[in-house]
A and B are shown apart, each in its own frame.
Chain A
């Protein structure tokens, strides 16, 4: 039933995550929730090299999450109209796709 079976993400294939938002905007809730999920201790402990950087701006820009993977691929998510769950499942699916062997052995 839950779209993501675990609330934590495995960040092994992620190089760094940059989250930028403007807190005075009204469409920021999902991005902030996503930041909490990704910046939590559990998620960070899966990969200590992955940096989670936050930029707080005040230029009425859209909230954007920019994720760089180990193989150079970039995932940009514009969080204005997305929920935090959708963003999390998108990230998780890509992580699993990139590193299927580790996931399969972990699940086994």
Chain B
């Protein structure tokens, strides 16, 4: 091949010598013309009467920006937060009143576990508090490596990666894989951090109805027909399904087996967010994969935070090394953020130890969930939303008053009623204008294994009482 090319080259040079002068001049002229065409503007810019300096100054003088933050009107003062003095453990002091905590996601009661605290303390005595650097620059501690290994082992995956902030975990993981032009199918009830991750990925996002596999399949079929029309594009367009194991906004479990079927049928990868289901569902607390007996390798990526069941701070992703390792250079929240304080990692390791030693706690948690779930049925005016084994579920108004503001006020009334009687509850809060599909206002009830039978009963009957008291009161008032 090389000699052939050489031959052509020699011929060209020969031809060049033999060509007559006018021919060369003509060709030279043509080349110049092409160059001109390449570099000249193809259209004339419309005539612009440029502004004079004086006019510019006037414009600058005239411009008035909006205020940095909108002015708050006097009738809508910023809402006051409830203030907790002391730890947010089982017994909690809210606004000066001691209550039983039905609001923190401390499902396994590990927040005030002495073993966890002691491990954190030992770690603090060894490493101090902060890490003073991102993972890449001396912010990797032996504790981080240990925690990653332990998480991977616990979840029975090849590799795990930890983040220093729960919210940033899935929000960084999604854009590490899904880029501009890729397609992501998302459940409408997906939580806010998923929505932010999707926004950061700048991918093409398709929402399907909450837990509605037919709707998802319809979208997948649509894509299939599009693919047939444009196979070249289809070959490079990555596609993902993003779902939650246990939806924080609805308390529902995703139909994972069906999702896995769809995954192989339409060749779509599954990213699963398990912040609520990790340490809750399944015999060993491994989450929704264990709950359904789905092979964990069939899920491309599992992400969860360590702030609920593990009662520490941060989050992790796990899966096959082929997938997870990519985040070590591409996960923004991993690369560009200071690493997790070692004492928080040490606390998470000890929490994992406890979860591994005693699988009874998961059963216990489920029993308690079922207990309060059935106790809360049949309250007039309030509807229980969520699975009976979900430790975080919602109480929604059966009939909205028609105004969200009023609904919120009513629910707040119920909460205050309970809070005055030693049961701490909270509403599920959202940024109303930022949510893609704003869930209806609700009270979120959180079950932990520390709550006794009596406390569960008490909470249920108080809520019933409050609902009667407040909802009927309002009906009369209208």
A, B: real partners: no
Binding site for B on A (CB under 8 A): none
Binding site for A on B (CB under 8 A): none
